[in-house]
Amino acid sequence: MPGQPRSQQPPRGRPPRRRLRSWLNRNRRFIAALLFCVPAGLTVQQLTPAPAETVVAFAAASDLPAGKTLGPGDVSPISVPPDLVPAGSPGSETAFEGKQLAAPLRKGQLLSDAQVLGPGLLAGSPPGSAAVPLRMADPASIQLVSPGQLVNVVLTGGNGFEQPTESQILAVAVPVLWTSAQGGSAGPWPASTEAEGLVVVAASADQARRLAGASTQGKLFFVLVAAAPG
């Protein structure tokens, strides 16, 4: 009606679209950072490898010399990927106790039956190979050879006086597995008082036949030879 004040109407709110635009303007930096972090996080997740599976293996607890008889504390468990565990690995810390090392081990080096005296010494040798013990005519020469070296085994007949000395090569480039210079009191080889001058070599079946009992036919010597180029 004329003369009466108009009733005040409540202010109309901003359209939702304008409110959204205003909110986006106020938070654009936060939104930009969020959008940047999402792909970065996905990338990190894809590049981060899953935790590697490990199993328990057994290694030398300290540097161990060749010829040492393994005892308590010489072997310790470590965690390694399954594909690093060697064949012939001991099943426990005590599995190889009392056995003698055929070669030195560095601290942390994984242990297997190929590193102790016994059938494992022939691991990797051709089928039919045999471990043949030989008694050298010169026991002092054993100090010059160590496991892994290749030798020619030479038989010298005759006595050098009435009979002329004749030499023949019984085996060529056979690998040495063990020597009495490492100490032979433990394991499958003879006691130390009987092991002087002994060398154990890996021989083929034919070589083993020639070497068996050769020391009764004359004097045995070895000649160091170089490995054939790969």
The mean per-residue pLDDT over the stretch 187-204 comes to 69
C-alpha triplet 150, 198, 210: angle, nearest 5° = 65
Decide if 110 contacts 127 (C-beta within 8 A): no
Task: Report pLDDT for 185.
Answer: 43
Mean of all residue pLDDT scores within the chain: 79
Tens digit of each residue's pLDDT (9 = 90 or more) over 108-133 = 999 998 888 777 888 888 888 999 99
Cα separations in angstroms, 45 against 31, 34, 38, 48: 21, 16, 11, 5
**CATH numbers and ranges of domains, the chain:** 52-116 (3.90.1210.10), 123-225 (no CATH)
Helix axes 28-47, 16-26, angle to 10 degrees: 70
Task: Report pLDDT for 184.
Answer: 47
Instruction: With a cut of 90, say whether residue 143 has pLDDT above it.
Output: no
Question: How large is the C-alpha radius of gyration of the chain?
Answer: 38
Tens digit of each residue's pLDDT (9 = 90 or more) over 181-195 = 765 443 444 444 556
The mean per-residue pLDDT over the stretch 128-150 comes to 89
Task: Report pLDDT for 6.
Answer: 55
The mean per-residue pLDDT over the stretch 163-185 comes to 79
DSSP notation for 192-217: GGG-TTEEEEEE-HHHHHHHTTGGGT
Cα separations in angstroms, 107 against 31, 81, 95: 55, 18, 18
Max CA distance (Å), the chain: 160
Instruction: With a cut of 70, say whether residue 57 has pLDDT above it.
Output: yes
Tens digit of each residue's pLDDT (9 = 90 or more) over 71-120 = 999 999 999 999 989 999 999 999 999 988 887 899 999 999 888 877 78
